[in-house]
Structure 1
């Protein structure tokens, strides 16, 4: 029975190792897949395209508008005869056709609106970057929480193997009468605790992997066969830039620029507008009577009644009840509000980075202590192993020392991963990159 347990543990370890080699996911792969699958990011990409298609250049705004109008009208009773402009008592059919075109030669608001359109595109891009940045931070946290549990499972697996070995050894010694039955009970209890702890960690690991891949929006991957890669980049801390390019700050800055253009736009409403226009019109009329209509044909009347007009119009705002001035003042206040948002976002970023820098400092201080503990644990294990081979110590004591050494290795590894996690998080916060 004990031999079967040992074989089972070894088999599980082998299967996990093999499956991990076949289906391993790195942090970079998770990020790339997640960004491709995220629906909110796809929506933001479409919003960028929509904003780009809505953009109008200055030239486009200055292009003339051309309109064609057609009208057919019937008048009964006393009406105006279009041929004489005199009032007659008759029934008249009247068809009118107009073509009008107008363009603004000088319009200061067109220049401001064209610039606002460009800023709107940048705002849409920045909003997408904000969504991506928050998503990356969430994904980074989920990835490393799962990675911590994955490495803990490796330690617990080694501890379980050691516990299984000790249980088998004590069982044999009890069977030949070298150990009392109580030692076997103690070892069985210890092994059961190790099994329960290992099972709980496996269950937690399975849930964390499922949550991670749900966050990535990947459903066609067997998460039980997935292992996460550990990637140590010794230059991670050196790649942190001094300048900030946080997406939230960029978004606030673009919004501030847009608010300044809104002020210019309100001011442009107080400036003159010079327009040119051209119009062409003609009409056809018919006096509806029984056999007494002597009006010309449709084509003849359209040719004879045509009229053209061309002109220029200058509109100079003089007084509008101070409405524009109030709008300008309101736009200035709104601009000041948006400017304060920039300072607010910078303050929040500084607070977050300061916390992460403190976490990094704490991890660096702890790393030295943990490495000392690891050195002492290895030395203790070497001494205890020699005593165990010579039969001077019990297996359970040797197992305890070996577990301490394994735990010390895990603590050093976890703290190293924590340092890397903090550096990556700082990079994402400050530069939206890792």
Structure 2
């Protein structure tokens, strides 16, 4: 019991030696803080936000063609010609470089008052496109939040592994020192010292590679947060997994909140409105026209040297398609096929999402059980290493047995950390499918 307490104290001192200076030197970034930074800075989210703004701007009755068009126009024509006129009484008039000027300006208004209800279908479609942009923005946000959380918990896992490797290096150094002391007093061969040195170098090499991987993942997280890539930070120590998720509840949320399903249904509605606009081509188009025009002319030759007029003009134009090479029938058939395809895509998407949910839930259950198992394995491996270390110090176990216990302990820590990470990722995937990630 006393040896166990001494060993625990020894490991605690190692942790303090290795990690306290690092924690003091770096700010701890929580997963919630990382998500909020990404929501504010991430470039893909900003782009999707601007695209939604474009859809909102396009959603107007004017863009649908419901409002009149008002245009101002000005036309000024001048000519210089050699002219010859023969009148009915035989009189001939000629003039070289005769000038003719015409100035016309005014305001006109055109308003389509009926187009087979195409404009109303177009307006409904613009509303659906705005909804589509809104859902696409939400999907982008959900995807990026999931990426941030996954990368963050990957860092937590790697940080735990670095801690374990730091611990094993301290133990390997103690083993080397013990081997050297035993060699000096003649209780061990030089081979034992060399083996201890090789194992220490191996552990140091593994730690260096793990630290490199850790730093590159930090750069990846900074990239997702769209901030300075050299920003230094520390992540939290633990991963908390929600092991109470229920498939029935997740399925209910998926049917209501899954963004891929919502996009598929919106696409189907857009296709139906396209068909409605295509069918409008069978009906007449009626357009009102009016305007106020000013006209002034000057002529160097002729009965009238100058004229001017102004006034209101108005009228109505109606056009009715009669035959256009069967294009109307062809366009309607194509539009109907597009509606049918969009309905099939919606059904396919529903089946795909349900399959993803069922598969992800099974993975989640497995990973949760593995996390519990590996936590128990780590505790067993730790106790085994403590006992082996005590025996090694008094020389009752060979070096290879101690090294095996040491490696088993480190591997158990790595498996435990990875199992928690995988369980957390499974949880995030399920919440993403259900459209229920909190941020």
TM range, smaller chain: 0.7 to 0.9
User: Quick one: which of 390, 393, 396 aligns to 2:396?
Assistant: 393
Alignment-derived partner of residue 5 in structure 2: none
- Following superposition, the deviation at residue 258 of structure 1 comes to 0.8
Offset at 1:260?
0.6
The two structures, once aligned, show a CA RMSD in angstroms of: 3.7
Alignment of 1:250-399 (within 5 A): 250-288=262-300, 302=308, 305-381=309-385, 384=388, 391=394, 393-394=396-397, 396=399, 397=401
- Structure 1 residues 60 and 409: alpha-carbon distance in aligned structure 2, compared to 1, 3 A threshold: closer
- 1:415-430 to 2 correspondence within 5 Å? 415-430=419-434
Q: What residue is the counterpart of 1:197 in the other structure?
A: 206
- Residue 275 of structure 1 deviates from its aligned partner by 3.1
| 2:241–2:423 CA contact under 8 A, matched in 1 | no
Which residue number corresponds to residue 10 of structure 2?
A: none
Q: CA deviation at 1:402?
A: 5.7
Q: For residues 352 and 131 of structure 2, what CA distance do their matches in structure 1 show?
A: 22
Match of 1:84 in 2: none
Specify the alignment match of 2:215 in structure 1. Answer: 206
Cα distance, 1:159 vs structure 2: 1.3
Among 157, 173, 193, the residue aligned to 1:184: 193
Which sits farther off after the overlay, 192-201 or 261-270?
192-201
**Contact persistence 2:75–2:103 (CA under 8 A):** yes
Q: Distance in 1 between matches of 2:297 and 2:158?
A: 90
User: Is residue 61–residue 123 contact of structure 2 (8 Å, CA) maintained in 1?
Assistant: yes
Deviation at 1:425, TM superposition (A): 1.5
Unmatched runs of 5 consecutive residues or more in structure 2: 1-12, 86-92
- Alignment match of 2:165 (pick from 152, 156, 159): 156
**Are residues 202 and 288 of structure 1, via their aligned partners in 2, closer, same or farther at CA, if it must alter by over 3 Å?**
same
Question: Do 1:370 and 1:411's aligned partners in 2 also have CA atoms closer than 8 Å?
Answer: yes
The number of aligned residues is: 410
Aligned match of 2:90: none
- Greater shift, 127-136 or 266-275, is seen at 127-136
Q: Alignment partner for residue 142 of structure 1, among 131, 141, 151?
A: 151
For the residues of structure 2 that align with 1:10 and 1:65, how far apart are their CA atoms? 76
2:51 paired residue number: 47
Matched, 1:248 2:248: no
Q: Give the counterpart of 2:113 among 105, 110, 123.
A: 105
1:133-177, Cα deviation, whole Å (9 max, x unpaired)? 444444444333333222111111111111212222232233233
Matched with 2:124 is 115
CA offsets 1:238-279 (integer angstroms, 9 cap, x no match)? 684633233333222222111110011111222233433323
* Cα distance change of structure 1 residues 295 and 197 upon mapping to structure 2, 3 Å threshold: closer
Partner residue, 1:85: none
Alpha-carbon distance, 1:415 to partner: 1.6
Q: Give CA deviations for 1:194-225 in whole Å, capped at 9, x if unaligned.
A: 222222222222233233323433325344x5
Query: Which deviates more from structure 2 when the two are superposed, residues 333-342 or residues 370-379?
Result: 370-379
Aligned to 1:174: 183
Whole-Å Cα distance in 2 between the matches of residues 294 and 328 of structure 1?
57
Hey, what does 2:72 align to over in structure 1? 68
Q: Secondary structure at the match of 2:268?
A: helix
SS in 2 for 1:218: coil
Q: Name the CA shift for 1:89/1:185 in 2 (closer, same or farther; >3 Å).
A: same
| Structure 1 gaps, min length 5 | 1-6, 80-87
Of stretches 160-169 and 111-120 in structure 1, the one that deviates more from structure 2 is 160-169
Equivalent residue number for residue 234 of structure 1: 242
1:406 CA displacement? 5.2
153 and 272 in structure 1: CA distance in 2 versus 1, 3 angstrom threshold: same
Bigger shift: residues 329-338 or 103-112:
103-112
Helix, strand or coil: the match of 1:283? strand
